[in-house]
């Protein structure tokens, strides 16, 4: 973002202005090419159509470049990068998302370090192979697996966290990769870009005292195909008969309901408490230790590729892009 000194508001800008604000980029030992949306947007206006545009930009330039850095607003970055991680199947090159908390023209901006180090990571190769070959998010000296992140702070430079998976790299005097944590491609397939995402999904966050009318209205949204159900703690929800009946009727109609914990860290443990046992019995899917952002992206992706109903939960509950901890 840059500041519009007429309106005093922040507005989106294109990449050509970054080189003016960060001349240090010219010192990097790599060639940088850039491509932008025809009309830059605020990340609050992101939708699946823009996800496809980002994925297509990578697809069209995949053979030309060794790595990719994607600049987006931080507010929706975990949602976007999680979705891209599922859309890019058989990825073998780094795709690093980054941005900043302070606009690039500000004196104390964090944009410079985030961008410079992201480009260093995207261009880091050893023995002619990229050190990173997955979709990541870099912010404030740490590289995370993108689909493990969530934004925790609107004010701190350390805006993102990955509570259930350690950082893939940390930047200090040296750039240190935690190589044992990185995804290593075990295939030689060509990149496939999955562009069909289903957005007929809702997030239903439980809270003490939520009315059955609210639950019913969400479950009865026209054309709804999936629900992310944000539950308490280790996946617990009310065991009220009417509440369970509403969910059971929905799953019976073919609506997929995914159980995600509201906690920023930890995992859903179906059956661990009595209040989660009934969810398991009526066919609610276990998101395990996935973030809400990743659970949403994965639901969009699997609905988009048309997994058969009998196999849907099986695919959903296994790790496809490192989004679930294998235990």
pLDDT number for residue 154: 92
β-pair partners for 319? none
**Structural domain includes residue 325:** no
CATH code at position 212: 3.40.50.40
Query: Is 80 in contact with 97 (CB distance < 8 Å)?
Result: yes
Angle subtended at Cα 128 by Cα 122 and Cα 134, rounded to the nearest 5 degrees:
40
Termini Cα distance of the chain = 41
Query: Is 182 in contact with 132 (CB distance < 8 Å)?
Result: yes
Give the C-alpha distances (Å, rounded to integers) separating 200 from 100, 131, 210, 246: 31, 37, 23, 19
- Whether residues 258 and 143 fall in one domain: no
**Structural domain includes residue 228:** yes
Domain end point (choices 170, 193, 216)? 193
CA atoms of 321 and 147, how far apart (whole Å): 8
**Segments of the chain scoring below 70 in pLDDT:** 1-8, 10-18, 21, 273, 275-276, 327
**Structural domain includes residue 178:** yes
- Whether residues 245 and 305 fall in one domain: yes
Full DSSP string of 83-143: HHHHHEET--S-EEEE--SS-TTSTT-SHHHHHHHHHHHHT-EETTEES--SEEEEETTEE
pLDDT number for residue 222: 96
Give the C-alpha distances (Å, rounded to integers) separating 39 from 36, 69, 325: 8, 19, 38
Per-residue burial over 88-105, b = 16 or more CB atoms within 10 Å of its CB, e = otherwise: bbebbbbbbbbbbbeebb
Give, as one character, the DSSP assignment of residue 157.
Answer: S
Beta-sheet pairing, 88-89 with 192-193: antiparallel
Burial class of residue 254 in the structure, from the number of CB atoms within 10 Å of its CB (0-12 exposed, 13-18 middle, 19+ buried): exposed
- Whether residues 119 and 180 fall in one domain: yes
- Whether residues 94 and 221 fall in one domain: no
- Whether residues 139 and 163 fall in one domain: yes
- Whether residues 173 and 93 fall in one domain: yes
- pTM of this prediction exceeds 0.75: yes
- Whether residues 120 and 8 fall in one domain: yes
- Whether residues 180 and 251 fall in one domain: no
Domain end point (choices 193, 225, 241)? 193
pLDDT number for residue 101: 86
Of the candidates 1, 69, 58, 57, the one whose C-alpha atom is nearest the C-alpha of residue 31 is 69
**Structural domain includes residue 324:** no
CA atoms of 64 and 61, how far apart (whole Å): 5
β-pair partners for 244? none
For 141-172, what is each residue's pLDDT tens digit? 999 999 999 999 999 999 999 999 999 999 99
Question: Domain total for the chain?
Answer: 2
pLDDT number for residue 275: 66
- Whether residues 168 and 277 fall in one domain: no
Domain that holds residue 74: 2-193
Domain end point (choices 174, 193, 212)? 193
Tokens (6 digits) for 278: 């009934």
């Amino acid at each position: 973002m840059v500041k519009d000194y007429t309106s005093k508001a922040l507005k989106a800008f294109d990449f050509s202005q970054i080189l003016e604000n960060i001349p240090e980029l010219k010192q990097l030992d790599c060639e940088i090419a850039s491509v932008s949306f025809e009309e830059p947007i605020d990340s609050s206006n992101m939708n699946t159509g823009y996800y496809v545009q980002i994925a297509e930009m990578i697809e069209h330039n995949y053979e030309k470049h060794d790595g990719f850095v994607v600049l987006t607003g931080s507010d929706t970055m975990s949602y976007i990068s999680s979705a891209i991680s599922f859309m890019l199947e058989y990825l073998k090159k780094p795709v690093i998302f980054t941005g900043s908390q302070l606009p690039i023209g500000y004196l104390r901006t964090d944009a410079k370090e985030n961008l410079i180090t992201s480009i260093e990571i995207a261009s880091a190769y050893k023995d002619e192979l990229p050190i990173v070959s997955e979709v990541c998010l870099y912010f404030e000296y740490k590289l995370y697996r993108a689909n493990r992140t969530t934004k925790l702070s609107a004010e701190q430079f350390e805006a993102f966290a990955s509570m259930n998976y350690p950082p893939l790299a940390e930047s200090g005097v040296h750039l240190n990769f935690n190589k044992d944590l990185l995804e290593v491609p075990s295939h030689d397939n060509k990149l496939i870009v999955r562009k069909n995402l289903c957005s007929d999904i809702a997030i239903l966050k439980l809270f003490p005292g939520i009315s059955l009318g609210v639950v019913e209205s969400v479950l009865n949204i026209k054309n709804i195909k999936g629900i992310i159900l944000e539950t308490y703690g280790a996946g617990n929800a009310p065991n009220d008969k009417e509440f369970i009946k509403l969910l059971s009727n929905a799953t019976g109609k073919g609506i997929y309901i995914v159980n995600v914990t509201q906690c920023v860290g930890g995992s859903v443990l179906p059956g661990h408490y009595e209040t989660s046992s009934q969810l398991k019995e009526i066919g609610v899917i276990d998101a395990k230790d996935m973030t809400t952002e990743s659970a949403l992206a994965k639901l969009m992706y699997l609905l988009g590729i048309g997994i058969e109903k009998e196999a849907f939960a099986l695919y959903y509950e296994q790790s496809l892009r490192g989004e679930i901890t294998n235990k």
